[in-house]
Structure 1
Amino acid sequence: MAKKVNVLVVGEGGREFAIAKKLQESSHVNQVYCAPGNVGMTTVGVLPVAIAETDFAQLIQFAKNHGIAWTFVGPEDCLVDGIVDEFRTAGLKVFGPDARSAQLEGSKDYALNFMDNYHVPTARHATYRNQTAAINNIDQFGFPVVIKENGLAGGKGVVVAQDRAIAIKTVKEMFANGQARLILEECLVGPEYSMFLVVSNGHYRVLPMAQDHKRAYDNDEGPNTGGMGAYSPLPQLSSTVRQQMITRVVEPTIKGLAAGGYHYHGILYIGLILTATGPKVIEYNVRLGDPETQVILPRLKTDLFELIEAAINDQPLPTIEERPIACFGVVLASKGYPTKPLYGQHLGCFPNKDNIEIAYANITGKLNSLRGAGGRLLMVISEDRSLQLAHNQVYKYLAELNEPECFYRHDIGAKAGL
């Protein structure tokens, strides 16, 4: 067998926990490092490295010093800021889109123009550079109307305004908070799905699909968050509709990347909504999702290292094989998230139990005495032969916790009949 290699994952959250864990399980991998990582990663054999994800020079030096075969970039901020370009300039292999391609997430206006240019179905939309123009055109979109910040917002820069008064207030607040542009869109109606592609210069593979839950509270109420829970597979999604998504959305997207001269080697997320007239795109992301990654990767039978290795080196991509299991996860978030999350609360420890694993994210301290570091703290995950069994185990574990300074949603998976 070929010599085992070291790989580096950039990032520190639950998504990077899941990526690093899956890579560490590969027979091809000696050691996975994660920069900066979090203390919880040591529970799965991954070594955190005290280098900020924004310190590209130090990350490059670390990769050279530790014989890193390639680096997997997790967070969108780094990708938009050009980490891939800098690694390549330094002669290092890296998985992720370059800065130009990352504009598909970095600017919603840019992404919508791409969709228009390459005939990818999406909502009716318009971009505005000043408050007056936006307010004067609100009525064109009907109510509710979707209002989006143009730039990166950690999954939270979207408001669905139910009436004109809320819409005007939102527009004024977004411009007052420094937005140079914002987007108004018609509100599409239908179930939402998360599709992730591994893309390698015109070739792609579709990873197992998941459904995310964006609103903070039960019954899809409260503000948008980065995501409060997810599950995979999707019993409510037929293979016919999935193929329709590939034909109508994925294929024109991949052809658009080729036609536009994007040398894309990375993950492409397509946020889909199944409307009465077929699937449409809500948004693109240029990386794996959080919390979807935590339920998708455990279902992947294909070796993740082999898949990424092939993509980086422009080799034929292996076929995606899925394990015949269901995976279900619920996020434990800090009280006050997403607007004013509590920091520093004592969390204690979270032992793994039968069929329960913890994907750590925003935590500090020692494993037997953890503290919250704001936002989404961790995710409780179960895999089993059915979604219902996995769902029951996760909620049983959460019910036994005593975490008064945290909260979680109680209805993850309701759209799958759980």
Structure 2
Amino acid sequence: MTDKVNLLVIGEGGREFAIAKKLKESASVDHVYCAPGNVGMPSVGVEPVAIAENDFAGLIKFAKDHDIKWTFVGPEDCLVDGIVDDFHAAGLKIFGPDARAAQLEGSKDYALNFMNNYGVPTAKHASYRDQTAILEHVDQFGYPVVIKENGLAGGKGVVIAQDHDAAVQTIKEMFASGQARIVLEECLSGPEYSMFVVISNGHYRILPMAQDHKRAYDGDKGPNTGGMGSYSPLPQLSAADRQRMIDEVVKPTVDGLVKGEYHYHGVLYIGLMLTTDGPKVIEYNVRLGDPETQVVLPRLDTDLYQLVDAAINDQPLPAISETAEASFGVVLASKGYPQKPIHGQELGSFPEGSEVEIDYANVTGTLSHLQGAGGRLLMVLAQAGTLQEAHDRVYAYLEKLDQPECFYRHDIGAKAGL
């Protein structure tokens, strides 16, 4: 057998915890480093490295010094800022799109123009740089209307305004906060789904699908967050509808990347809504999603290292094999998230057993004495023979917690009949 390889994962949250944990399971992998990582990662054999994710020079030096075969980028900010371009210039292999392709997430307007150019179905939309113009046209979209910040917003820069007054207030607040461009979209209706596509310059494989829950509170109430929980598989999604998503959305998207000469090597997340007119794209992300990654990767029977290694090196992509088990996860977040999450609360420890696993994210301290660092702190996960069983294990664990300065949603998976 050839020597085992060393890998580097960039990022520090629950998504990167799940990526690094999955890569570490491969028989081909020796060390997995994560920069900067978090205090929970040693629990799954991953070594945190104290280098900031935006310190590209420091990351490149580390990769060269530690014989890193390739690097897997978790967060969108690094990709938009050109980490892939810098690694390539240094002669290093890295998994993720370059800065040009990352504009598919970095700019809502750019992504919508791409969809228009290559026949990818999406909502009726328009983008504006001028506050007066957008206020003159907002009523033309009907209500509710979707209002989006054009740039990166960590999954939170979207407001669904129910009436004219709410729309005007939101638009004024977004421009006042420094937004240079705002996008209006018609409000689509239907179930939402998350599709993750591993792309290697025109070739692709689709990972197990998941459903995210963006709103902060039960019943899809409250502001949008980065995601409060997810699950996979999706019993409510028929094989025919999934195939329609592939035919009408994935194929024209991948064809567009080829025609546009993007040379895309990485993951493309496609946020889909299944409307009465068929599937439509809500957004593109140019990386794995959080918290979907935490439930998708445990269901991937295919060796993640082998899949990514083939994609990076333009080799034939291995087929995707999914486990029969269901995966279910709920985020524990700081009180006040997403607007004003509290920081520094004493969390203690989160013992794991045979029933659940913990994917750590925004925590500091030690595993026996954790503190919250704001936002989404961790995810409680379970894998089981059925979604219902996994659901029950996670909520049984959460109900026993005494964390008054934290909260979680109680209805993750309701759309699957749980």
Q: Percent identity?
A: 74
Return the alpha-carbon distance in structure 2 between the equivalents of residues 115 and 173 of structure 1.
28
| 1:17 aligns to 2:17 (yes or no) | yes
Return the alpha-carbon distance in structure 1 between the equivalents of residues 69 and 352 of structure 2.
31
**1:156-167 alignment, distance < 5 Å:** 156-167=156-167
**1:67-78 alignment, distance < 5 Å:** 67-78=67-78
Taking structure 2 as the reference length, the TM-score comes to 1.00
2:296 corresponds to: 296
In the TM superposition, what whole-angstrom CA distance separates every residue of 1:2-44 from its partner, at most 9, and x where no partner exists?
1100000000000000000000010000010000000100100
1:140 corresponds to: 140
2:190 corresponds to: 190
In the TM superposition, what whole-angstrom CA distance separates every residue of 1:193-252 from its partner, at most 9, and x where no partner exists?
000000000000000000000000000000000000000000000110000000000000
Return the alpha-carbon distance in structure 2 between the equivalents of residues 298 and 199 of structure 1.
20
2:82 corresponds to: 82
Return the alpha-carbon distance in structure 2 between the equivalents of residues 18 and 129 of structure 1.
38
2:333 corresponds to: 333
Return the alpha-carbon distance in structure 1 between the equivalents of residues 238 and 43 of structure 2.
37
User: 1:288, CA displacement in angstroms?
Assistant: 0.2
Return the alpha-carbon distance in structure 1 between the equivalents of residues 140 and 381 of structure 2.
43
Return the alpha-carbon distance in structure 1 between the equivalents of residues 40 and 69 of structure 2.
24
| 1:210 aligns to 2:210 (yes or no) | yes
1:360 corresponds to: 360
**1:2-401 alignment, distance < 5 Å:** 2-401=2-401
* DSSP-derived class of the 2:101 partner: helix
Return the alpha-carbon distance in structure 1 between the equivalents of residues 352 and 4 of structure 2.
28
Return the alpha-carbon distance in structure 2 between the equivalents of residues 85 and 230 of structure 1.
32
Return the alpha-carbon distance in structure 2 between the equivalents of residues 312 and 136 of structure 1.
47
Taking structure 1 as the reference length, the TM-score comes to 1.00
* DSSP-derived class of the 2:40 partner: helix
The amino acid of 1:339's aligned partner reads Q
Return the alpha-carbon distance in structure 2 between the equivalents of residues 299 and 3 of structure 1.
27
Return the alpha-carbon distance in structure 2 between the equivalents of residues 45 and 355 of structure 1.
20
Return the alpha-carbon distance in structure 2 between the equivalents of residues 209 and 88 of structure 1.
31
How many residues are aligned here?
Answer: 418
The amino acid of 2:334's aligned partner reads S
In the TM superposition, what whole-angstrom CA distance separates every residue of 1:261-311 from its partner, at most 9, and x where no partner exists?
101000000000000010000000000000000000000000000000000
In the TM superposition, what whole-angstrom CA distance separates every residue of 1:168-204 from its partner, at most 9, and x where no partner exists?
0000000000000000000000000000000000000
Tell me, which stretches of 5 or more residues in structure 1 are unaligned? Answer: none
Return the alpha-carbon distance in structure 2 between the equivalents of residues 391 and 115 of structure 1.
36
User: 1:353, CA displacement in angstroms?
Assistant: 1.3
Give every structure 1 segment of 4 or more consecutive aligned residues whose post-TM-superposition deviation is greater than 6 Å: none
Return the alpha-carbon distance in structure 2 between the equivalents of residues 234 and 384 of structure 1.
14
Return the alpha-carbon distance in structure 2 between the equivalents of residues 227 and 366 of structure 1.
25
The amino acid of 1:27's aligned partner reads A
* DSSP-derived class of the 1:23 partner: helix
* DSSP-derived class of the 1:328 partner: strand
Return the alpha-carbon distance in structure 2 between the equivalents of residues 338 and 239 of structure 1.
35
The amino acid of 1:134's aligned partner reads I
In the TM superposition, what whole-angstrom CA distance separates every residue of 1:106-165 from its partner, at most 9, and x where no partner exists?
000000000000010000000000111111001110000000000000000000000000
Return the alpha-carbon distance in structure 1 between the equivalents of residues 141 and 38 of structure 2.
43
| 1:404 aligns to 2:404 (yes or no) | yes
User: 1:354, CA displacement in angstroms?
Assistant: 1.4
* DSSP-derived class of the 1:39 partner: coil
User: 1:355, CA displacement in angstroms?
Assistant: 2.5
The amino acid of 2:107's aligned partner reads S
Return the alpha-carbon distance in structure 2 between the equivalents of residues 132 and 178 of structure 1.
15
